[in-house]
Amino acid sequence: MSRNPLIVFEGVSKSYTLHYHFTGGIKNFLFHLPSYIRKARSSSYCALKDVSFEIRRGETFGIIGKNGAGKSTILGIIAGVLKPTRGKVAVGGRISPLLELGAGFSFELTGRENILLNGIILGLTRKKVLDRMDEIIEFSGLGEFVDQPIRTYSSGMLSKLAFSVVTSLDPEILLIDEILAVGDLNFQQKCLEKMMSFKKSGVTIVFVSHSMKQVEQICDRAMWLENHVVRAIGDPGTITGEYSSYWKDR
Amino acid sequence: MTNKKKVKSRNLGYFKDLAIILTQKEMKVRYKNSFLGYLWSVLNPLAFAFVFFVAFQVVMKIHMKDYVLFLIAGLFPWQNFTNSINASPMVFLMNSTLIKKVNFPRHILALTLVLHDSVHFVLSIPVILFFMFVYHRVPSLSLVWGVPALLSVQILMTYGIALFLASLNLFFRDLERLTTILTTALFYFTPVIYSETMVPDKYRVLLKLNPFAMLMISWRNLFLNGSINPVYAGAALGYGILFFCLGYFFYSKLAWKFAEVL
């Protein structure tokens, strides 16, 4: 089973120090120094407790759980944006960034300019983005809107633009956070197809979703997070079934 | 070995592409809706030059030949410096979505800011030359190497300070106000609207402790006399390297926490 795991989490815990008292500013900090230090030591929030799992090369791995269970924290740690407090994490591949609507988009720029900006931020060279520009615009289906500033876009159009940029990447690991929840049915279908073709070409996908149907459809395995700990890992059909009935019984 | 080299050159290319595209973005975003974009960056120091001219030469009768030219030669570089510094506390905050989602060298955002203002400064040099022409001065050939040299020092210094302020501001969000106060104070402690020779002898040694004084005096001498005092410029370079190292050290200690506190 553990042949060639691409992502390994071993007893990973993540707690955040609550910084709200710091962000009050230097003035407050200096005037209330002792109580600040006390608070900073005692207050922390635990987002993940002793989480262990492995994701194999070429696998599509779904993560489900209610809001605040720690799903996005896991993606953040895989992406290297967050650092685990305890435990070991090994990631062995080129990672696409966490995909979420419009991360890094600049609202004053046009769709076309944002494609270039986003593509480079996501790790492509300038030349590559320009070469694939037509393809990306074609996929987005935005037509002539692509030359409008994106502050005029609807949220559906934004997600189309965001996902279209992703399609032009060639990552080894794709992290997807709820991106398929928006956009019209037609486009959702297109995204699913694109993900399937990524999957076929051997890309490892980590997929966070609230749509049990999508998880069942796409994933090879799924993990259920509950209250910051792993509740179950296994066949997506079984897991999503348990998850749904768990919430029905409540 | 060659593989390692490849990765390195790939990273360097990525870094370059990223820096260029982000600088372009900054330029487009800031001036997209105004035709006067370029004009603003020139108008600001010119307006201040006018104000100081009225205050000090017309009203307070300061004795200095070609005071307007003197002001302009100092105010333009100073403006370049403070624009970056005053904007730097916000640079990570404003790009929070990016920092939370993408693992890329974040210090590039601060670099972008500094480069953006430097491009504006370079574009405004013809205005300085125009005023030299008005005052019958001939620009020296040494500008050709002097401007890139001093600009590099200034970028190094500003970049370091910007990194420090941008990182710290994520933890203390009122740093922005403090920064504006400090840059205003620094402006009057630095020989921009007065010359270093007007500083009383017993305080002149303090000028040496002011990194910005070293740099601003060098800029003005370069424009007005076509010469650079190697001691001053060297001191500025020394301060620049020091600031950059400190800023980068500070940033690298805090960088892993950025995504958490944003």
The predicted complex's ipTM stands at 0.75
Q: How many contacts (CB atoms, under 8 Å) link A and B?
A: 95
Nearest-angstrom CA–CA distance, B85 and B90:
10
Q: Which two tokens stand for residue A152?
A: 């005029």
- CB A98 to CB B101 under 8 A? yes
Is the model's pLDDT at A150 over the cut of 90? no
Q: Cβ contacts of residue B54 below 8 Å, gap of 6+?
A: none
CA distance B161 to chain A (A): 18
Helix (H) or strand (E) holding A52: strand A44-56
Across chain B, which has 262 residues, the per-10-residue mean pLDDT values are: 50 82 80 66 86 89 88 93 93 85 85 90 91 90 92 96 93 86 93 89 87 93 91 94 95 86 76
For range A237-250, the mean pLDDT: 84
Range with the largest mean pLDDT of A2-6, A74-78, A160-164, B219-223: B219-223
Is the model's pLDDT at A35 over the cut of 80? no
Residues of B in contact with A23 (CB under 8 A): 171-173, 261
Nearest-angstrom CA–CA distance, A203 and A197:
9
Residues of B in contact with A97 (CB under 8 A): 101-103
Nearest-angstrom CA–CA distance, B251 and A19:
18
| In contact, A108 and A149? CB cutoff 8 Å | yes
pTM: 0.83
Residues of A in contact with B174 (CB under 8 A): 25-27
pLDDT score, position B115: 92
- CB B102 to CB A116 under 8 A? no
pLDDT score, position B8: 55
Nearest CB to B21; choose among A25, A81, A120 = A120
Q: How sure is the predictor about A194, in pLDDT bands with cuts at 50, 70 and 90? A: confident
Name the residue of chain B whose CA is nearest to A109's CA.
Answer: B29
- CB B260 to CB A113 under 8 A? no
SS3 A174: strand
pLDDT score, position B1: 38
pLDDT score, position B33: 55
| Burial of B180 per CB tally in 10 Å (0-12, 13-18, 19+) | middle
Q: In this structure, are strands A173-177 and A44-56 parallel, antiparallel, or unpaired?
A: unpaired
Residues of A in contact with B13 (CB under 8 A): 125
Cite the DSSP H helix spans in A9-110: 26-31, 33-42, 71-79
Nearest CB to B14; choose among A29, A100, A123 = A123
Residues of B in contact with A115 (CB under 8 A): none
CA distance A121 to chain B (A): 6
pLDDT score, position B151: 96
Question: A57-67 pLDDT, tens per residue?
Answer: 889 999 988 88
Chain A (34-53) residues lying within 8 Å, Cβ to Cβ, of chain B: none
**Domain positions in chain B:** 38-261
| In contact, A41 and B189? CB cutoff 8 Å | no
pLDDT score, position A36: 67
Q: How sure is the predictor about A175, in pLDDT bands with cuts at 50, 70 and 90? A: confident
* Strands across the sheet containing A86-91: A44-56, A5-17, A86-91
Nearest CB to B259; choose among A27, A82, A106 = A82
Is the model's pLDDT at A81 over the cut of 80? yes
pLDDT score, position A41: 63
pLDDT score, position A2: 43
